[in-house]
Structure 1
C-alpha cells in the first residue's frame, strides 16, 4: 500500500491501482487454472459471480467514500468489518461464534480504529459529508464482509486446487467488472509522465499477492471471523513499516505527535490481545 500511496501522491488516480490489482488477481488465478486445465464447476459460477461482484462493489464504495467524504473519518470506520463478519456469519454460513471470538472481534475493531485514526480530520467537513462518509464506508465494509463469508460458504474446503479454481472464477468476474473503472484509470503514457510506473507496478503486484493470500485462506479453510481478526494486524504492520521507513519514503509518519503514537500503541496492544484470544480458543 505504501508504494501505491506514493504513486497517488505523484498524481496517479487511486482507481488505477485498484484496476491493475484486480487485473493481476484475475490473470494470476486464470493462468494457473489454464496451465492445469482445470476450472470451477459450472454450478459454482453463480456464487462466484456474486462473490466477485461484492468485491468490486466494496472497492467502488470505498473510493466513493474517499472522494466525496473524508479519508481520516472513513479509514477507522472500516475497522467495523471485523464485527460485521462476526454478526453476519450465522446468517450466511450457519456458524455460531463463541463468546471468546466475539471478545476478540471487539478488541480487534477498537484496535484498528485506534491505529488508523490520524487525528487530522478536516475542519470544513459538513454534516452531509460526515453522514455520506459513514454511509459509504459502512456499505463498503458490508459488501466486503459478505465477500469474505461467500468465500467461506462456497469455497471447497477439502481440496486446495478446487479452492484455487473457485478463486479463478471469482476474480475473472471481478476483473471484467473492473473494466467499468477505465474512465477513471490513468493511461500508461500518463503514468510514465508522472514517473510512477515503478511504484504502481510494485504496489499493485504486492496488493494482489496480499489479497490472494487472504482470500485463498477464506476459500480453503473458512473461519472468516478469526481470519479477519488475524488479518486486522495488517494495519499495525503497515503503520510500523511506514514509521520505520518514513525518512526514506518521505511521508508524514515521522511528524506524528506523541499522542497519536501512544494511541496507536494502545491499538497495537488490543490487536495483540485479540490475536491471542482468537488463536487460543
Structure 2
C-alpha cells in the first residue's frame, strides 16, 4: 500500500499536470511550435531528475540500465503524441484520454501474468469506453479535430504505460539514483531528433517555459514515485485524478464558454474513466 505522503505527492502531480498542460496549450495557441514545446519540456524533465543521481544508486546492471533507456524512448515518443493531441484538441478531451494510461498499466500487468482477467476488469473497460464517448461530445464542426486528438492521446497513453512498466522492471537492480536520471537524460538526448524549430513568439514564451517547468517537475515526480515504490498501478490511480482536473480547468481557465455547452458530458465521461481505474485498482 502507499503511504499518505506518497498519495499526496501523486495527487499533487495530477493537479500540476492539468495546470502545466493548460500553459503548454496557451503557448501553442500563441504561436509556439510543438517541437519547441516538446524540446523545452524534455530538457526540464532531465534537469529536475538529475539531482537524483547522487542518491540511492544500486549496483550498475547493463540489462536494467538498457531497460531504463527503453523507458526513456517510450516517454520521448509519448511526449510527441501528447503535445500533438493538445495542439489539435481541447484540454478537457486530451487530459482524460491520457488518463487511460492507468487502465493500460493495469492491463499490461495482468497480461504479464501477475493477475488474471476478471469480470471487474471487463466492467472497467466498458466504463472507460463509455467515458471516452462522452468526453468526445462537442460541436459537429470540431468532430475531426476531436477524433484526431483522441488518436494521438490514445497512442501517448500506450507509450506512457509501457514506460511505467519498464520503470518497475528496472528499479530493483538500478535504484532510483540510476533509473530516473538515465530515463530523463535519454529523453533529453533525443531532443535533436525533433529537428530545428523557430524561437517562440514573445507572447508564447512565458506560458511555454512555465508549462514546461511544471510538466517536467510533475513527470519526474511520478516516475520517481513509481521507481521508489514499484507500485505503478497504485500511483497511477491517484494520478488519474488529472482527468477531472483537466476538464474543470479547461472549463474555467481555458476556453471557457467554448467548452461550456458540453462541460457536463465531458465531466461525466472523465468521472467514468476514473471509476474504471478505481475498479481495476481494488481488484488487484
Distance 1:13 1:266 in 2: 32
- Counterpart in 2 of 1:4? 24
Q: What SS does the aligned partner of 2:256 have?
A: helix
Listed as ranges, the gaps of 5+ residues in structure 1 are none
Q: What SS does the aligned partner of 1:31 have?
A: helix
Distance 2:224 2:123 in 1: 22
Question: How far 1:64 moved relative to its partner?
Answer: 5.7
TM-score of the superposed pair, with normalisation by structure 1: 0.74
- CA change 1:47–1:280 in 2 (3 A) is closer
Distance 2:257 2:151 in 1: 32
- Counterpart in 1 of 2:169? 153
Distance 1:99 1:29 in 2: 37
Q: 2:247 aligns with which of 239, 250, 257?
A: 239
- CA change 1:38–1:81 in 2 (3 A) is closer
Question: How far 1:182 moved relative to its partner?
Answer: 3.7
Question: How far 1:65 moved relative to its partner?
Answer: 6.1
The reply on whether 1:195 has 2:203 as its aligned counterpart is yes
The reply on whether 1:59 has 2:76 as its aligned counterpart is no
Give a deviation string over 1:201-234, Cα, whole Å, max 9, x none. Answer: 2110100111112112222222333333322210
Q: 2:49 aligns with which of 29, 32, 47?
A: 29
Question: How far 1:167 moved relative to its partner?
Answer: 0.7
Distance 1:86 1:25 in 2: 25
Distance 2:84 2:274 in 1: 31
CA RMSD of aligned residues (A): 3.7
Higher relative contact order (CA 8 A, sep 6+): 2
Q: What SS does the aligned partner of 2:223 have?
A: helix
Q: 2:219 aligns with which of 211, 214, 220?
A: 211
Distance 1:124 1:272 in 2: 24
- Alignment size in residue pairs: 260
Question: How far 1:9 moved relative to its partner?
Answer: 1.1
TM-score of the superposed pair, with normalisation by structure 2: 0.73
The reply on whether 1:256 has 2:272 as its aligned counterpart is no
Q: Is the 8 A contact 2:67 2:169 kept in 1?
A: no
Listed as ranges, the gaps of 5+ residues in structure 2 are 1-20
- Counterpart in 1 of 2:193? 180
- Counterpart in 1 of 2:102? 82
**Structure showing greater Rg:** 1
- Counterpart in 2 of 1:102? 121
Q: Is the 8 A contact 1:226 1:278 kept in 2?
A: no
